[in-house]
Amino acid sequence: MTGRDSGAGLTTTPELAERYLMQTGRRLPVTFVRGEGCLVYDDTGREYLDLVAGIAVNLLGHAHPDVVRALASQASRLIHTSNLYFTEPQVELARRLVELSFPSRAFFCNSGAEANEAAIKLARKWGTKNRDGAFEIITTTGSFHGRTLAAVTAGGQHKYSDPFAPLPAGFVHVPYNDAEAIESATTDATVAVMLEPVMGEIGVVPAAAGYLERVRAWCDRKNLLLILDEVQTGLGRTGRWFAYQHTRIAPDVMTLAKGLGGGVPIGACLAAPRADVFEPGDHGSTFGGNPLACAVASTVLEIVERDGLVGHAAEMGDVLAQATADLGASQTRGVGLMRAFEFEAPKAKAFQHACLDAGLVVNAVDDHSVRLVPPLIITARQIDRAHGVMKQAAG
Ligand SMILES: Cc1ncc(COP(=O)(O)O)c(C=O)c1O
């Protein structure tokens, strides 16, 4: 037997995808081949305005010249070495992230799920050292932390975890925005509380005023770690570098991914000194923190800073909020350029298709809610264009 098979006769990309790719998710009927800024183009040359940005990833849009330059330049020097050696781009990226956030050190990996795996392992080791072997992590119903086994268990959505039982022990779920529920769920076995500052995947549910502060105070009082999953909210998306910066608190551990590499896969877990308990041999990743991804990520941070894109995201967030206010939605939610609106009728998917047909990329997270997480470089004019399409599609 050879690998040759009967793919003959299949011609379109969707047909070939069905034949050769595991069917882990449903795709919209479009094949993108290139992009530029906030625009993407399909295989027929048709243009679309992209309000999804690879699910909150492409902070600088598509094919940003500085990102392209950084990629080419680093690729021509050194792509990968493993973590058996030092590399300059990795240390430089860690320095930048720490200086933008809170006193900490960084571990690099390749995705949000991996960043959360690192945080979970860190919390467990910390519990062994500091809390008599406590290992339970309190997370919230509806949260999303990625697709590895521990991450789906940490996440509070049964549809992602139940098919894969038995699940790892040590995760307790409580309602979001309910600090009292966290307090009641805390036992001697609890080691950490893990939260998204804005729940993204479930449809952009922001933390209520005072919630994160109260949970921080509880963690301090009970000697627990506060882990914030900023995989989606981080790097300017909410109009601050990190969403926790809308408050006066800081986490002990913060996870990042998505926007960090401007489209190149990279994840990070930052730990404050009290939580920084990994020792040589405890954790690792062959590709994590490779020079290519780190050099690009440093460039992304540099451009976000140079072009004032964090403030721009806050400003454009207000414009985008306005553009979702008259679509007949029963609810609109969000912070900065992380927005959603909810229809009373189950028409989010039809709305998404109608937008796509009219050249606009939006993301229906379920039958009722639509999420918008455009590149941070989006302009008021582009939002106006999107508004026209959405108004028609909602009508
Ligand atoms: C808050 C949050 N955490 C973790 C993840 C998982 O990230 P990845 O898909 O890179 O593993 C996501 C992805 O949507 C996310 O939104």
**CB of 229 shorter than 6 A to ligand 1:** yes
Could you tell which of 242, 244, 258 is best to mutate to test the pocket of ligand 1, judged by most ligand atoms within 8 Å of the CB? 258
Respond yes or no on whether the N-terminal peptide bond of residue 29 is cis (omega within 30° of 0): no
> Which pLDDT does position 1 carry in this prediction?
45
Give the separation between CA 363 and CA 12, rounded to whole angstroms. 24
**CB of 269 shorter than 6 A to ligand 1:** no
Using the structure block, give the residue that is written with the tokens 């963690």.
219
**CB of 242 shorter than 6 A to ligand 1:** no
CB 115 within 8 Å of CB 268? yes
> Which pLDDT does position 8 carry in this prediction?
72
**CB of 191 shorter than 6 A to ligand 1:** no
How much distance in Å is there from the Cα of 117 to the middle of ligand 1?
Answer: 11
How much distance in Å is there from the Cα of 267 to the middle of ligand 1?
Answer: 10
Give the separation between CA 166 and CA 26, rounded to whole angstroms. 26
How much distance in Å is there from the Cα of 146 to the middle of ligand 1?
Answer: 5
146 alpha carbon, distance to own chain's centre: 9
Dmax (CA) for the chain in angstroms is 65
Sites in the chain below the pLDDT cut of 70: 1-7
Nearest in space to 144 (alpha carbons), one of 31, 290, 257: 257
**CB of 262 shorter than 6 A to ligand 1:** no
Strand positions, DSSP E, 175-310: 190-195, 198-199, 205-206, 225-229, 253-256, 267-271
Nearest in space to 189 (alpha carbons), one of 104, 263, 128: 128
Q: Encode pLDDT of 182-239 as tens digits.
A: 999 999 999 999 999 999 999 999 999 999 999 999 999 999 999 999 999 999 999 9
Name the average pLDDT for the chain.
97
**CB of 201 shorter than 6 A to ligand 1:** yes
Q: Encode pLDDT of 149-161 as tens digits.
A: 999 999 999 999 9
How much distance in Å is there from the Cα of 147 to the middle of ligand 1?
Answer: 8
For ligand 1, atom 13, the nearest C-alpha belongs to 146
From the alpha carbon of 146, which atom of ligand 1 is closest? 6
Tokens of 177: 């925005």
CA angle 240, 246, 251 (to 5 degrees): 100
How much distance in Å is there from the Cα of 115 to the middle of ligand 1?
Answer: 9
Burial annotation 216-244 (CB, 10 A radius, 16+ → b, else e): bebbeeeebbbbbbbbbbbbbbbbbbbbb
**CB of 117 shorter than 6 A to ligand 1:** no
Respond yes or no: is residue 222 known to be catalytic.
no
Give the separation between CA 258 and CA 359, rounded to whole angstroms. 24
Burial annotation 246-274 (CB, 10 A radius, 16+ → b, else e): bbebbbbbbbbbbbbbbbbbbbbbbbbee
How much distance in Å is there from the Cα of 186 to the middle of ligand 1?
Answer: 25
Identified catalytic residue from 108, 125, 258, 343: 258
Using the structure block, give the residue that is written with the tokens 């998917």.
349
For ligand 1, atom 7, the nearest C-alpha belongs to 112
Respond yes or no: is residue 258 known to be catalytic.
yes
| Confidence (pTM) | 0.97
Identified catalytic residue from 107, 108, 135, 144: 144
